[in-house]
Amino acid sequence: MGSVQSRRWFLVPGVIFLLVIDMVPLVYSLWVSFYQWWLVRPRDIRFLGLGNYLSLAADPAFRRSILVTCTLTFGAVLAEFLAGLALALLFAQPFRFLRPLRAVIMMPLFVVPVVGATMWRLILHPEMGVLNYYLGLIGLGNPQWLADPTMAMCALILVDAWRTIPFMFLVMLAGLETLPAELFEAARVDGASWLQAFRFITLPLLTYIMLVAVLIRGMDVFREFDIVFVLTGGGPGTATETMQMLNYRVFGLGHMGQANAIGVVTLILVALMCYLLIRVVQRSR
């Protein structure tokens, strides 16, 4: 018993270090969010209380950024989940010719987001982009991928899904390979079809892993910045201006109090989303 307690003391320095690097910036950001503080007037700091938060609540740009962020998060995570699950089910089959393709599918995961977004910006170029070139050959016109509000959001979802479908695929495939084969053999003996085995065996046993993967990706997409910044810059207009892009713009204007208030609200929304998904995960277990 004493040895176990002594081992716990070795965790204290790490816990203190994590609390310092996490809690100190968070508390400082929360403190700044209660003040009116412009970088152009660093000595003119006035306490506003909840003034920054109230102004954000009345700001239509902030409400629109929340809607844009939620749309991007839902669309990207849904596309990644469905594509990752489909690929995992395909590669779980005993086809030897598919094994070398696993490394190819994993390649986008190792591309730096800024590099990937820059590459896709060239691919989606209306005049010089290779995608529009081939669409024109088959008579599908010349879509303005980054100039139309709806198409720009679709482009963001496409690029984010392209980059992180390998993550979903890897997690789903690892979960499928841990499922007991005896259950599927018994289902085949009982005359169950592939769809019935997937519905009544695979999905219930894989639900926990699926929800954990969705939780991780949901947190990442909600805080997405680099892909949005490089690909659309929040445009056209403010059609793809997420909360992180709005925070970047406010910070660039020097409004430190409001910028930190946006960061605190983002943290609260991410925490709320994580809490709801964790509750679903616990129930699934």
Q: What's the pLDDT tens digit per position in 165-186? A: 999 999 999 888 888 888 888 8
Higher pLDDT, 155 or 126: 155
Are the C-beta atoms of residues 214 and 277 closer than 8 Å to each other?
yes
Predicted TM-score of the model (pTM)? 0.88
Question: Has residue 187 been placed in a domain?
Answer: yes
Q: CA–CA separation, 81 vs 160, rounded Å?
A: 12
pLDDT at 1 over 70: no
Residue 8 belongs to a domain: no
What are the backbone angles phi and psi of residue 3, rounded to the nearest 5°?
A: -65, -35
> Is the residue at 210 inside a domain?
yes
Residue 26 vs residues 22, 66, 270, 277: alpha-carbon distances, Å: 6, 21, 14, 23
Split at pLDDT 50, 70, 90, the class of 285 is low
Interval 39-51: pLDDT, tens: 877 777 888 889 9
102-108 average pLDDT score: 85
Domains identified in the chain, total number = 1
Confidence category of residue 128, pLDDT binned at 50, 70, 90? confident
What residue numbers bound the domain in which 214 lies? Answer: 59-284
Domain-embedded: residue 18: no
- Whether residue 4 is predicted with pLDDT greater than 70 in this model: the reply is no
| Residue-level pLDDT at 72 | 94
What is the pLDDT, as a whole number, of residue 284? 64
Q: What is the mean pLDDT of the chain?
A: 87
Tell me if 24 is assigned to some domain.
no
User: Where residue 99 sits, what CATH number does that domain have?
Assistant: 1.10.3720.10
- How far is 223 from 200, CA to CA, in rounded Å? 35
Mean pLDDT confidence for 54-81? 93
Share of the chain above pLDDT 90, in %: 37
133, two tokens: 């070139």
Q: Is residue 43 part of a domain?
A: no
Q: Is the pLDDT of residue 13 over 90?
A: no
pLDDT value at 52 more than 60: yes
User: CB count, 10 Å around CB of 135?
Assistant: 14
For residue 52, tell me if it sits in a domain. no
| pLDDT tens digits along 208-257 | 888 889 988 998 999 889 999 999 988 888 899 999 999 999 988 888 99
